[in-house]
Amino acid sequence: MDLKKIVRDIPDFPKPGIIFKDITPLLQNPEAYKHIVDRFVARYREKPVDVIVGIESRGFLFGSVLAYVLGKSFAIMRKKGKLPYTTVSYTYKLEYGEDTIELHEDAIPKGSRVLIVDDLLATGGTAAAAAHLVEKMGGKVAELAFVIELAFLNGRKALGDYPVFSLIEY
């Protein structure tokens, strides 16, 4: 199935010069959504993973359904101030300024093997921060999985030795 044909390009969103990869047509198309989940399931069914972490907010769309099918624990990683219980946070640099992501303190049991899921890998800043937060909490990053990878932005490089898997590359 050619998922690239279904992803919608939105030029100049959210600011001039960015081509936003809109994944909503993938969700609207039941065969496409199923195809994506099935490919993730095929890859992770036999891999030792204890916890799946979805990155706010589009990572939830793929991470939660994968956790459901595989029977794994699912944790949501959110921007600062959104989670109600006690959190552990990690602050990372952006092009301008900084950002902070959080997980609930009980989301990652020490020593657990963690699969991090998001919709898209661009520069890798968000995903690297997610991996660092998981490690700060005593988890081990098993892999980072994305539906889309913008390979020309070298996100894999920013992720160093962490294993990366993606379904569509640009």
**Which residues of the shown chain bind ligand AMP in the complex (CB under 6 A)?**
18-21, 55, 58, 118-127, 155
- State the first-to-last Cα distance of the chain, in angstroms, to the nearest integer: 16
82/5 Cα distance (integer angstroms):
35
- Min dist. Cβ of residue 164 to ligand AMP (A): 11
- Least separation in angstroms between residue 82's CB and ligand AMP is 15
CA distance linking residue 8 with residue 35, whole number of Å: 17
Give the pairing type, strands 140-149 and 113-121. Answer: parallel
Give the shortest CB-129-to-ligand AMP separation in angstroms: 8
Cα dihedral 152, 63, 102, 57 sign? positive
Tokens of 71: 């029977």
Nearer to ligand AMP, 51 or 118 (CB): 118
Q: Which residues are catalytic?
A: 58, 95
Integer Cα distance of 23 and 137 in angstroms = 31
What type of residue is 2? D
Considering the complex, state which of residue 13 and residue 105 has its C-beta at the smaller distance from ligand AMP: 13
Nearer to ligand AMP, 102 or 118 (CB): 118
Residue number, 45 or 94, with CB nearest to ligand AMP: 94
CB of 19 to ligand AMP, least distance (A): 6
